[in-house]
């Protein structure tokens, strides 16, 4: 029997923000956040296989390919977040980034569910195993934070409070499984545009320092969907609605169809709805899919684990 090609496959979850409190803009252009993340059971897979080693003296570059819904909108150049992750890890260890990355998308592209961040976290873990670089967890998390505000959470998963840009994480206890329905929109929204619209809509009024809502942390800890539904908030929602007014119809359709509550997921345009149980989520997903207010809808659950190696022939 021939030896299988060396490869490592990592699966990485999407996230929903159950609270996204946004502070004023910082001098570096980012915003301080109180960002309560929950990882949900929609995953991308990132597979790392050996790439072509660079010619002596020439800089190597990772190869990348992508399949799945929306993959035509994923850049396949040095700007791809998974490629940037491979380059960063290689530089960290002073080695060539000779790898090919294949991304199987299931997380909506530019949907406010941290799909690009998930791919970056997946690429870091897959390359680390393929290259045998055994990067300590704390270093991996620091590299994640360099790549983007949501990348550390994709590595960690579960539920966590993110402070700073959202990258300073504290794990949160969750007392049960929550049932969600995601209404997927056509096209995406660019995160920087949504933050800019948020600043514009707020105008000169003073913005309070973002802080986690104790009632929300208690609802998560108790696994109480009704209590959580009462306190879901997203400070980016008015901005996402201003850029995509039709999302108001999606939110109204979900609430009419029996959601406990609905909100825009992160910077949108995906809308997230909390349901009482699995049966309610399935019927809500069917109603939303038929409502004509979204491209499609899918039921899922959270929390789930962060980036996990599911196959390794390293």
Which residues contact ligand C5P by CB under 6 A? Answer: 29-31, 33, 148-150, 165-166, 191-192, 195
- We find the least distance from the C-beta atom of residue 73 to ligand C5P, in angstroms, to be 16
Does 15 participate in catalysis according to the annotation? yes
The residue (of 156 and 225) whose beta carbon lies closer to ligand C5P is 156
Nearest Cα to Cα of residue 38 among 309, 301, 312, 314: 301
Q: Which helix (H) or strand (E) holds 301?
A: strand 296-302
Residue 144 CB-density burial (10 A; 0-12 exposed, 13-18 middle, 19+ buried): buried
Name the residue nearer to ligand C5P (CB basis): 163 or 222. Answer: 163
How many other C-beta atoms can be found within 10 angstroms of the C-beta atom of residue 88? 18
Q: Is the Cβ of residue 99 or residue 236 nearer to ligand C5P in the bound state?
A: 236
* Minimum distance, C-beta of residue 6 to ligand C5P, in the bound complex (Å): 31
Q: Can you read off the two tokens belonging to residue 265?
A: 């997921």
> Nearer Cβ to ligand C5P, position 31 or 244?
31
Residue among 32, 119, 128, 150 flagged as catalytic: 150
Q: What distances in angstroms separate CA 278 from CA 189, 282, 290, 296, 301, one per listed residue? A: 29, 6, 19, 18, 8
Does the annotation list 183 as a binding residue? no
Residue tagged active-site, from 15, 44, 105, 235: 15
Question: 312 labelled as ligand-binding?
Answer: no
CB of 203 to ligand C5P, least distance (A): 17
Give the whole-angstrom CA distance, residue 215 versus residue 233. 12
Q: Beta strands 159-163 and 168-171: pairing type?
A: antiparallel
Q: Are 19 and 213 in contact (CB under 8 A)?
A: yes
Confirm whether residue 257 is marked as ligand binding: no
Is 114 labelled as part of a ligand binding site?
A: yes
Is 115 marked as a binding-site residue? Answer: yes
Could you give the CA distance from residue 141 to residue 156 in angstroms, rounded to a whole number?
9
| In the complex, least distance from residue 84 CB atom to ligand C5P, rounded to whole angstroms | 10
Contact (CB, 8 A) for 247 and 266? no
Known binding site for ATP: residues?
Answer: 108-118
Known binding site: residues?
Answer: 108-118
Catalytic site positions: 15, 150
């Amino acid at each position: 029997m021939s030896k299988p090609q060396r490869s490592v496959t990592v699966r990485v979850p999407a996230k929903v923000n159950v609270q996204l409190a946004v502070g004023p803009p910082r001098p570096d252009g980012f915003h301080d956040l109180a960002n309560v993340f929950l990882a949900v059971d929609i995953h991308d897979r990132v597979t790392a296989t050996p790439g072509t080693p660079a010619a002596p003296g020439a800089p190597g570059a990772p190869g990348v390919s992508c399949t799945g819904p929306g993959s035509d909108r994923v850049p396949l150049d040095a700007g791809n977040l998974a490629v940037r992750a491979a380059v960063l890890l290689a530089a960290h260890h002073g080695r060539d980034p000779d790898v090919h990355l294949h991304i199987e998308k299931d997380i909506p592209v530019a949907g406010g569910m941290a799909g690009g961040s998930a791919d970056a976290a997946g690429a870091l873990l897959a390359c680390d195993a393929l290259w045998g670089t055994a990067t300590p967890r704390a270093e991996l998390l620091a590299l994640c934070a360099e790549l983007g505000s949501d990348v550390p959470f994709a590595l960690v998963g579960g539920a966590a409070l993110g402070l700073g840009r959202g990258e300073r994480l504290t794990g949160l206890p969750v007392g049960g499984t929550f049932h969600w329905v995601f209404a997927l929109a056509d096209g995406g929204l660019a995160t920087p545009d949504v933050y800019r619209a948020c600043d514009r809509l707020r105008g000169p009024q003073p913005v309070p320092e973002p802080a986690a809502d104790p009632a929300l942390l208690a609802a998560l800890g108790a696994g109480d969907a009704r209590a959580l539904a009462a306190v879901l908030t997203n400070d980016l929602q008015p901005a996402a609605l201003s850029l995509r007014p039709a999302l108001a119809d999606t939110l109204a359709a979900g609430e009419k169809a029996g959601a406990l509550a609905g909100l825009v997921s992160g910077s949108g345009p995906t809308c997230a709805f909390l349901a009482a149980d699995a049966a309610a989520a399935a019927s809500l997903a069917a109603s939303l899919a038929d409502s004509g207010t979204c491209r499609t809808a899918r039921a899922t659950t959270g929390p789930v684990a962060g980036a996990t190696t599911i196959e390794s022939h390293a």
